[in-house]
Structure 1
Amino acid sequence: MDMSNMIISAVRPRTSILDKSLSKGKSEVSLSCYALLFSELVQYSELGAEVGHKITDLLVIREKGGKREIKLLNALLFIKSTVWKSLFGREADKLEHANDDERTYYIIEKESLVNKFISVPKDKGSLNCASFVAGIVEAILNDAGFPAKVTAHWHKGTTYMVKFDDSVITRDKQLDDR
C-alpha cells in the first residue's frame, strides 16, 4: 500500500442538539410557554412561597452584597423595585401605606403579568391568580425577618395587601428612635 497518496484529515467530533446551550443569551422566557406553565401551577398556591424562599437569598447576595434590610420601608422598596424587576422585568407601579392601619401596606400593579391570560369565571369573581405572587412576597418578607401576611385583591388592577405582624411595627419604631 502506497502511503504517499493517503490524506490525513482532522476528525471533528459531531455535536448533537443536546450539546448546544439552551440559552440564547437572554434571560427571557416565551410568554405563551410561561402562560401554559403558570396555568398549571396556579392551583398550587404554596408554590409561590417556595419561589420566594429561593429568590430571597439569590437577590440579597447578587443585588445587596449579602446585606439584608433592617428597616421596614427599605424592605418594601427592595421588593417593589429589585424583586419586581427580577421577576417581571419592571418595577411594581405603586407602594402605598394604609391611612387607617399602620401595619398595612399595598403594592399595586395596574396590569399583573400573572393575570394576563387568566379569565376568572363570574361565580369566582374574587379569585385572583396573583395569589402566587403574594406567596412570593410573603416568603421574602418572612425570610428577611418581617413577618407578614400577603394577599392579592382586585383593586386598581391587582393590589397586594401586606399586613405586618405587630412586632415588626414595634421594632421599626424602636429603630427610628435610635
Structure 2
Amino acid sequence: MPGMAKPPPPPALTHQLADPIPIPPPKPFQPRLRHPSSRKTIYDRNLSRTQTTPTSLPAFAYLFHALITHHHSLSGSVSDIETRLNRAGYPLGIKLLDLLLYRQQTASQRPATRPTRIVELLQFIHTTLWRALWGRTADALEQSTTKRNEYMIVDNEPVVNTYISIPREMSQLNCAAFVAGIVEGVCDAAGFGMEGVTAHWASAQGEAKGEGKEVEEMWPGKTIFLLRFSEEAVGREEAIKANGG
C-alpha cells in the first residue's frame, strides 16, 4: 500500500557446518567359531570314521539339563514340555539316518539300502541307532497284541533319565521324549508315515498288570517307546506280504 515502508529482508544464514567426523573403516570379519591348535573343527572330520572316544557324560548331562530348563520355562504343562522335547530331537533323527547308512556303506564296502519293511526299520533302530547314540542296543523290541500299528522299544536305563530329578507334581514327565523325537525323525526320513512316537514310564504301564512296584524297584528309569505307524505304512506292509515280499 502507498505510504507503508517495505519490511526488512530476512537475515542471511551465517551457520557453518562443523568439521566432518571421519568414518572409521570397517573391521575385518572375525568368525566366532573357535579353532583348536590343529586349526581343525568338527566339520573337518571324516564322516565314515566313527567316534573312538565316548562323549563326556557330565557334559552331556549339563547340556541336556539346560535344554529341559529352557523348554520348561516356555511350557505350561507336562505334555507341552514333552512335545517340545520331541520336536527338539526330531531333526537329529532326520540327519542320523543318512549318516548311519553312509557309515554302514563305507564299513562294508557295499551299498547300504534304506529299510523298506517295518521290522527292518525297527531292528535298525533297536541296534544301529541305539548303539550309535548310547553305545549299546535297546533292551527289547515288541509288537502290540491289540493294535497292528503299534510297536514298542524298551530301554531299562535311558541315559537321558539317569540324572534327572522330577518334582512330585510332575511325576508323569518323561524326558526320554527327546529320544522319542529322534526315533520319529528316523522313521519319517525312512519313508514310514508315523502317527507319533511317545515315551512312557514302564512302571505306569505295569500298574495295570500289578507289576508297577517291582518294575520301579528294579529299573527306576525303565522307559517304553511306543511307535504308532500310520495306516498307509501298515497297508503297504500288508500289500508287500500279500505279494510274497
CA distance in 2, matches of 1:176, 1:160: 26
Amino acid at match of 1:73: V
Report the Cα distance in structure 2 between the residues aligned to 1:147 and 1:38, rounded to whole angstroms: 28
| Aligned 1:27-176 pairs, distance under 5 A | 27-42=53-68, 43=71, 44-45=84-85, 46-63=87-104, 65-148=111-194, 149-155=196-202, 157-176=222-241
Partners of 2:120 and 2:240 in 1: CA distance: 13
- Structure 2-normalised TM-score? 0.62
Structure 1, unpaired ranges of 5+: 1-16
1:24-61 deviation per Cα after TM superposition (whole angstroms, max 9, x unaligned): x7331111111001111233512201111111111122
Contact 1:61/1:67 (<8 A) preserved? no
Consecutive unaligned residues in structure 2, runs of 5 or more: 1-34, 43-50, 72-83, 106-110, 203-214, 216-221
One-letter amino acid matched to 2:113: K
What is the identity percentage for the equivalent residue pairs of Structure 1 and Structure 2? 35
Distance 1:116 1:22, change over 3 A: farther
**Aligned to 1:132, what secondary structure does the other structure show?**
helix
Residues of 2 paired with 1:172 and 1:27: CA distance? 39
* Alignment correspondent of 2:78: none
Matched to 2:224, the amino acid is T
Deviation at 1:97, TM superposition (A): 0.3
Shift of 1:66: 3.6
Taking the aligned partners of 1:172 and 1:115, their CA distance within structure 2 comes to: 34
Larger radius of gyration, structure 1 or 2? 2
Q: Report the aligned-residue RMSD.
A: 1.8
For residue 18 of structure 1, the aligned residue among 36, 45, 49 is: 36
Q: With a CA cutoff of 8 Å and minimum separation of 6, indicate the structure with the bigger relative contact order.
A: 1
Q: Deviation of residue 135 (structure 1)?
A: 0.2
Shift of 1:18: 3.0
Letter in 1 for 2:184: E
Distance in 2, Cα, partners of 1:147 & 1:169: 9
